[in-house]
Structure formats: C-alpha cells, structure tokens
Structure 1
Amino acid sequence: MRNWLFLLALILTLPAHADLDKLRFITEEYPPYNYAENGKLQGIAVELLERAFLLDGRQLDRDSIEVQPWARGYETVLNTPNSVLFSTTRTDTRESLFQWAGPISAARVVLMARKANAIQIDSIDALNQSDLQIAVIHEDIGAQRLQELGVDPTRIHTAFNNTSALTMLDANRVDLWAYGEDVAFWLMDTRGYDRQEFEAVYTLSEASLYFALNADTDPNLTAQLQASIDSAKDAMPSLRLVTEEYPPYNHINDQGEIQGTATQLLKKVLQRSGFEAEFQLLPWARSLTEAQMRENTCVYSTTRTPERESQFMWIGPLLSTQWGAFSLASSPLDAGNLDDLSGLRIGSFRQDAVGNYVQDQGHSLILATTDRENLDRLSADLIDVWVTGVASAEYLAEQQGTALNRLFVFNEVPLYLACHKTLSPHLQQRMQSTLEAILKEQGELPAPTLDKE
C-alpha cells in the first residue's frame, strides 16, 4: 500500500507533456517578435515558444497559432480559458487580468515623432497643454499607458494596425505615435521608411514582453509553460552572425555561400575559439535591427559610430575601410571634398554609416535599399555621385564592368562585429583575444581608432 501511494504521488508530480497542446496561442503582427513572412509565422517570440515545446517533448505547429488584430486577440484571451496572447507587455494594470509566462524580451514604449517637426515633451502635463495629436492601436500598451497617465482622450486617434499608424505619422496626420520603440523602427526598416527621419521624444514605460494566459487557465499549464521557457533560454542556440552584401568584406559567392575577407576572418576566430555560428545575409537595415533585438546575434562589418556605441557589445576591429566619393569615369564632374558635392544628387543606402556621415555634413541623400543599386543608379544617371566604401565600390564596379572615377577619399574607419548587448562577456572576451592573436600572427596592425567627428 505504501509503495502504491508513493508511486501515485510520483506520477502526479511528473509533467504531463501533452498539456501544452491544450493551450490556444494567439498573436498579432508585431515584428520582430511575431510576424508573418512568406506566409509563415516568424519572430523572436515564436522561436522561443517553438524551442520551449521541443524541450517539453512536443512539436509546435506554427500554423496552429492564430494571427488576429491586437484588440480582438486581447478580448479573446481575456474571456477564453487556456488561451495565450503574445507578445504582451506586463504592466501593473494588466497584472491581475492574466497569468504570465516569460519574459520574452525587454521593451520600451515611446512617443514617436518626425524629427523635422522638432517636438519636445518634458512631461505628461506638457503633453496635455499642447495640441499634439497621437496615434494608437486599440487595447495596445501605448493606448493603455496614455489612458493610465491621464492624456486628453480627444487627441488620441485609433489606427487599425501598426502599419496604418506609421502611415499616419509619416503623412503628418498625427504628430505622435504611442508604440513599442523597437517594433516601430523595425517597421520603418522593412517598409521602406528612413528611420533617421523619426525619433522617440518621450518614454511612456519600460517593461518586458510576456506570454499572457487567460486568468482562469489551469495554473499547472502556466507553470509548465514557464518551466519550458526557462529551459529553452538555458539552451539558447549558437551564435547567429548577420551581414549584408558588401564586397569584398562580406558577400555571396557563386555557390550561394557567404564569403569575403571579414567573413573568413570571423570563421577563423570562431573555429579557434571553439564556438559555432550560423551566417545569414540580410538587407543592412534589417541586419542592424536583428543584432539590436535578438539575443546571441551579431552584425558585421559594422562601423562603430558614437550613435551606435551603446547599442551593441563590440568585437574588433576586424579591418579598416576608406570612404570615398565616386562618379562615372565618363562624367566631367570634378570634386575634391564633400563641400564640392553641394547641390548634386548623392547616392547612399539606408542605415549606412557612410551616408549618415555625409548627411551629418549637411547634404541630402538619395537612398537605395542596397549599395549595389547605387552603381546601377549612377549608370542610369539617377544620381551624380556615389558615397560608399572605396574597396566595395571598386569591387562592384570591376564585377559589373563599369568604369568609375574616384573623386576623393574623405574618411578611414575600422569595421567591427557588433553583438546584442546581452552577449556573454566570456564569449566576447574569448573572441576578442582570439581575434587579436590571429591579426598579430598575420602581421596586421589594428585598424584606426573610432572617428568621433
């Protein structure tokens, strides 16, 4: 009898692996945490949930996750036991409305504005005394924070979704947008907006994103989901290194493999350090955002600017690059410095440090999605001058058989591996010391120090 009672008690304490299948998961378009790409659900939260299921002995069917507008999903989970909404900001107001599992990631909710409007907000009182109009999404954390803080409701305008809210802000139909900062910038990068034209002017809250479970859900299910998430975080995958098409440092070869001088150096560092990494090629603005927001993710070859300094953990320098201005060899254009480019059509691409530097000197730019496009635009007489890395421009021009004229060189900077701020200090130090040892063996001096100008 004692043995039977002991066995029964043991069975009751074992996790029921099928239980997580009882949960109904609901999400929205909230990149990079949860979003649809090429018809498949992707994102940081989705990947975390998938790893949690695997470590619980289950296979998550991503197609079973329901994608709904935020307000509908929020109401559904409020009223439906065993349902889960993600990614949900955990606030004092919402605390008792749900059970919680997580966190997924830290998040900051801000008032976003167009830089050209030069909006400054020092307090909620100052906001209420102004006539500024604000876009929100119904039941979103931005809308709830404005309500909690007592912002005048007559100046709050509800958008259908985040894309329409961004459109309203860009078109000056509203002055501000209350939303998650990271997600707002991600949308700008992926929807073709220039994030340099926008800025966060006031922070509404800093909290974390969670899986929010209906309050009447079996607490054992919540505990099991939490335990699986904890295990998934402890078993994080190997490093993920993202980059762009920026030859000769990083580029795709004829076999579809990522190659280049920086890529080969990093592969050697990883091999000698005993670490593994997945390499992936993305548009540059997307690569930067991925490394800012995804744990164990790094981006290269990255210029270490004062604006980016606090956004990443840095490893390097890997090598150095010169910045130059180019025209077609057949062009009669003559210029010796950046001042000589005044009034010309200058080509760069989104989130590039070279273009940002030139823009900071007071020049307007015509921005492409990738740097390779600028060579075609130069040939098609859509731009007069192309500002970019010297080695990259000359490599692409030779590859396409286009004759360029290097007008002048205006800077030389080091390029780095920029990693998510939560990267293990041990890993960072190991890779840094290994990199320095390899460069010393190759007889290569460290790249120039960071240009602070």
Structure 2
Amino acid sequence: MKRWWPTLLLALFPLPAAAELEALTFITEEYPPYNYRQNERLEGISIELLERIFAETGSTMSREDVRYYPWARGYETVLSEPNTVLFSTTRTEQREQLFQWVGPIATDRVSLLARRDSGIQLNDIEDVIVGDYRIAVIREDIGAQRLQEAGVPEAQIHAAMSGASALRMLERGRVDLWAYGEDVAFWLMNEEGMPTTDYTPALTISESDLYYALHRDTDPDLIERMQAALDRLRERGVVGEILGGTIAFNTEEYPPYNYRGADGTITGSSTELLRAALSAAELDAEFRLLPWARAYTEAQLRERHCVYSTTRTPEREALFTWVGPLTSSTWAAFTLEDAETEASSLEELAELRVGSFREDAVGQYAASQGVPIVVASAERENIARLRAGVIDAWVTGEQAARYLAEEADLPLRRLFVFNEVELYLACHPSVPDYFIARLQAALDRKDNTERPL
C-alpha cells in the first residue's frame, strides 16, 4: 500500500549526482617541460597526463579548458577559490594542509644554478648567504619559498616575471644564481638555443614530487576519481609513454666508453653513466650495439633514435639534439711500438697510410687537414691492419687505442696528440624535449655532489 513512498521521496529528495570533473577549474602556468604554451596551445607532461585523466573519467573536458595564469596569480587563486586546481605544484610539508593533492606527476629537483665559468662552489646554504650571491626567483615558486625558509636575506633575492627572464638575468650577469627546477631550466636553455653545458647546478635546495593541487574544500569524490584514474594510467604504463616512452640508444664497439661485456650486455663508462641518469630521471631506453656507420645514420634519419659516444662537431651540430657531455677523449696518432714510422703532426702523416673507420669524427678531422685516410668498417679492424702492415699509423681516441691494443696484446707507440674533445649523446630531433631536458638534468647532477639543503 505504501510502495509509492520511495518514488515520492526520490522525486522530492533526489540522490546526489556522481562527482564530475567539469565542476573543477584547472589552472596552469609556464613550467616546461611539465606545462607550457606553444603556438597558443598548452603542451607538456602534466597537460598530456591531465587529458588522459579526463578521458579515463569520462569527462568532456580537454586542454582547451585549462586556464593559463602567471604562477603567483594561480597560486593565490587556488588558495582562495573553491573547486580550483593548480599544476604542476610541488608538494611540501609547508603546503600540505593548504591543498588537497592528486599525483604524483613526476619528481622535480630544484637547484641553485650557476654559470659554469663563474667558479661558484657551494657546500650548503650558509655559503650562499656568506657569499652575498644575487639569486633570481619566481615569486611564490618553490625555489623562492625554500630560500625564504632557509633565512636567505631579502636583499639577495631578485624576482623575475618568468623562467625565461630569470635565465636571461643569469646569462647577462645580473644575478649570480637562479633557483629553479633543473628539468625546466635545461628545457628553457634548449629552447633559447643556449648551450646547457655553460650552466651547472651548484646546490640542490629541494627534491619533491609534483602534483595537481586542489582547493582544500574540494569534494573528496572528485579527488578520489582523479587519483584512481591516474593510478590506473600509471599501472598501464601511460605515464612512462608520456615521459617519452622507450628511445633507442645506438652505440658501437668503442671501449672503454661503450662495448659488449663478457656476459653479453652492453657496458662501458658512457653506457653506465647513461643507465644511471635514465634511472634517476625515470626514463627508458633500449641500448643497441651496431657498426658505427649504421648507429650514426639511424640516429640521424630515424625518429626516436640517439647515438653515443659522439663527438660534437660544427658539421653535426644542427643534425641532432645533444645531451652531455658524457666524457672527454684525447685524439692521437699511433703506430707499432717497434715501427720506424715517425711523425709529430698531422701534416707529417700526409705521406703515410693512416687508418680510421667509417663516419668517425677523428678520421674525418684528420682528412680535413689533408691526411689521406684508409677507412675500415669498424675500429677494431685497425689493430689487425697495423699488425699486418696494411697501415702505417692509426688516428683514434687515446683511451680506445690503449684498451684495444692491450686486448690484442699489441704494443703501441703514441706519435703525437692533436685534439681534446667531449663526447655526447646525439638524438634525432623527434626525441621529446622533456625527455632531453630530464636526461640532461640527471647527467648534470652526476657531475655535482648532491648537497641537499
């Protein structure tokens, strides 16, 4: 008799609708490679991930619905206005109770960056204060907050409008240091066409995860839906794909930098350095050992391919995106220990049979100086050719020559040294900018003792 009551009650007091992400206002800023604007379109790791979250939750929203504000304005908005979201935001102890959080997106290391030629060396934050160094920051950015918490005097802090303007301040000597995320800094340097090797992290002041920060009164159901979607995406490997996926790292048999070890795996000093940097940056690569000419050509012509250990020359500069340096190499000319061959310069090699191998920068350089080169298909062949008397001299990296000669039990005599170069990872321009930036930042940290604040 009272079966109609539930229907009446539902009509009068309908059940609350499931929480929808359309109820939220998303705000971001210029913080590449995580979020940035390019040709009036929002791009970056956090943007890509957010769109995947929208799709995963059935939301009709897209990147076009995200608002783009200066950092300080976005930060103040999400502090004060309900149903707002700011990203990418560093989650810190001081901020923990100010927001609700969905993430992590990625790990971000904030450092004090210096010009490499400045000679600035920092052991701790006290060195910053005592040195009275001028520091560029973005207002309300984590770098600025960390310095304030550490007691750095306001007189040393110089606010910039954006990361790009802070970089220019550092480049032009208007400040001594720049407090900013390493990945972002190196990305900006690449975008501005500035050599990343001109700058170095002098002191790590923060290492935290980046999150989507939501106003603290946001509906918990929305938080749960976003977090669950992100967790599912991470389980399916989508986050790794957005970070760049798996990139092919081609190399050759060129010990001690890169070669196949006794257990069959690719190893060497450059290889292990790259493996450690990839792990630290949460990136993935497939290492492949190929003949040098093929390894080099694939990186030049095939998307998502890189090659190492590669000399960075003017002729190659525009062909690749460069990461490094990985190590240095001394170029020298060699002959057999008991050979009568004598030479003290490249000019004196002009009348001799001189060995190198295809697409090798050492041989190409010697050839450009008028030395006739007898080209082999691989570096190891030059050991056998020297022993057989097919060539009189061999031009190559000194470290590789010593390694291969010892391996073959062939005594060598160095004739002369003619160059000192740095070796890099050279990547096809299709390799994502954020992959390059994160890897460069991780490599640069390997050259600096990490001294957290």
TM over 0.5: yes
Q: Answer whether contact 2:136 2:158 (CA < 8 A) is retained.
A: yes
SS of the counterpart of 2:140? coil
Distance apart, 1:188 and its partner CA = 1.0
Distance apart, 1:27 and its partner CA = 0.3
In 1, distance between residues paired with 2:79 and 2:200?
A: 33
| C-alpha spacing 1:114/1:406, structure 2 compared with 1 (3 Å) | farther
In 1, distance between residues paired with 2:205 and 2:134?
A: 16
Q: Which has the larger radius of gyration?
A: 2
1:391 aligned to which of 359, 372, 375:
359
Distance apart, 1:60 and its partner CA = 2.8
Residues 1:147 and 2:148 are matched in the alignment: yes
Aligned to 1:296: 245
In 2, distance between residues paired with 1:60 and 1:68?
A: 18
Distance apart, 1:62 and its partner CA = 1.1
In 2, distance between residues paired with 1:116 and 1:79?
A: 44
Aligned to 2:86: 85
Distance apart, 1:409 and its partner CA = 4.8
Letter in 1 for 2:277: Q
Aligned to 1:49: 50
| C-alpha spacing 1:352/1:213, structure 2 compared with 1 (3 Å) | closer
| C-alpha spacing 1:196/1:94, structure 2 compared with 1 (3 Å) | same
Letter in 1 for 2:171: D
Q: Answer whether contact 1:134 1:157 (CA < 8 A) is retained.
A: yes
Identity, % of aligned positions: 43
Deviation by residue 1:391-424 (Cα, 9 ceiling, x = unmatched): 398xxxxxxxxxx98695546999999x99xxxx
1:311 aligned to which of 271, 277, 281:
277
Distance apart, 1:312 and its partner CA = 1.8
Q: Answer whether contact 1:136 1:178 (CA < 8 A) is retained.
A: yes
| C-alpha spacing 1:415/1:224, structure 2 compared with 1 (3 Å) | closer
Aligned to 1:335: none
2:292 aligned to which of 321, 331, 344:
321
Aligned to 1:168: 169
Letter in 2 for 1:96: Q
SS of the counterpart of 1:100? strand
Q: Answer whether contact 2:248 2:288 (CA < 8 A) is retained.
A: no
Distance apart, 1:216 and its partner CA = 2.0
| Structure 2: gaps spanning 5 or more residues | 252-257, 259-269, 280-284, 295-312, 332-356, 362-370, 375-394, 402-422, 433-453
Aligned to 1:426: none
| C-alpha spacing 1:406/1:162, structure 2 compared with 1 (3 Å) | farther
In 1, distance between residues paired with 2:78 and 2:46?
A: 17
| C-alpha spacing 1:322/1:131, structure 2 compared with 1 (3 Å) | farther
In 2, distance between residues paired with 1:296 and 1:318?
A: 20
| C-alpha spacing 1:68/1:180, structure 2 compared with 1 (3 Å) | same
SS of the counterpart of 1:85? strand
| C-alpha spacing 1:39/1:300, structure 2 compared with 1 (3 Å) | farther
| C-alpha spacing 1:140/1:390, structure 2 compared with 1 (3 Å) | farther
Aligned to 2:216: 215
In 1, distance between residues paired with 2:240 and 2:139?
A: 37
Q: Answer whether contact 1:90 1:208 (CA < 8 A) is retained.
A: yes
| C-alpha spacing 1:295/1:15, structure 2 compared with 1 (3 Å) | farther
| C-alpha spacing 1:194/1:223, structure 2 compared with 1 (3 Å) | same
Aligned to 2:349: none
Output the aligned Cα RMSD. 4.1
Deviation by residue 1:433-453 (Cα, 9 ceiling, x = unmatched): xxxxxxxxxxxxxxxxxxxxx
Q: Answer whether contact 1:77 1:213 (CA < 8 A) is retained.
A: yes
Deviation by residue 1:231-258 (Cα, 9 ceiling, x = unmatched): 2222334975xxxxxxxxxxxxxxxxxx
SS of the counterpart of 2:107? strand
SS of the counterpart of 2:97? helix
Aligned to 2:207: 206
In 2, distance between residues paired with 1:100 and 1:347?
A: 48
Q: Answer whether contact 1:110 1:200 (CA < 8 A) is retained.
A: yes
In 2, distance between residues paired with 1:346 and 1:58?
A: 49
Aligned to 2:96: 95
Matches within 5 A, 1:24-423: 24-237=25-238, 294=243, 296-301=245-250, 304-305=270-271, 307-312=273-278, 315-321=286-292, 347-349=315-317, 352=322, 390-391=358-359, 409-410=396-397
**Normalised TM-score (structure 2):** 0.59
| C-alpha spacing 1:131/1:208, structure 2 compared with 1 (3 Å) | same
Matches within 5 A, 1:7-26: 15-16=18-19, 19-26=20-27
Q: Answer whether contact 1:50 1:59 (CA < 8 A) is retained.
A: no
| C-alpha spacing 1:103/1:146, structure 2 compared with 1 (3 Å) | same
Q: Structure with the greater relative contact order (CA < 8 A, sep ≥ 6): 1 or 2? A: 2
SS of the counterpart of 2:290? strand
In 2, distance between residues paired with 1:392 and 1:353?
A: 19
Distance apart, 1:117 and its partner CA = 0.8
Distance apart, 1:40 and its partner CA = 1.7
Q: Answer whether contact 2:112 2:180 (CA < 8 A) is retained.
A: yes
**Normalised TM-score (structure 1):** 0.59
Letter in 2 for 1:310: A
| Structure 1: gaps spanning 5 or more residues | 241-289, 324-344, 363-388, 394-403, 421-453
Deviation by residue 1:253-307 (Cα, 9 ceiling, x = unmatched): xxxxxxxxxxxxxxxxxxxxxxxxxxxxxxxxxxxxx9xxx26342433674565
Distance apart, 1:131 and its partner CA = 1.8
In 2, distance between residues paired with 1:353 and 1:54?
A: 34
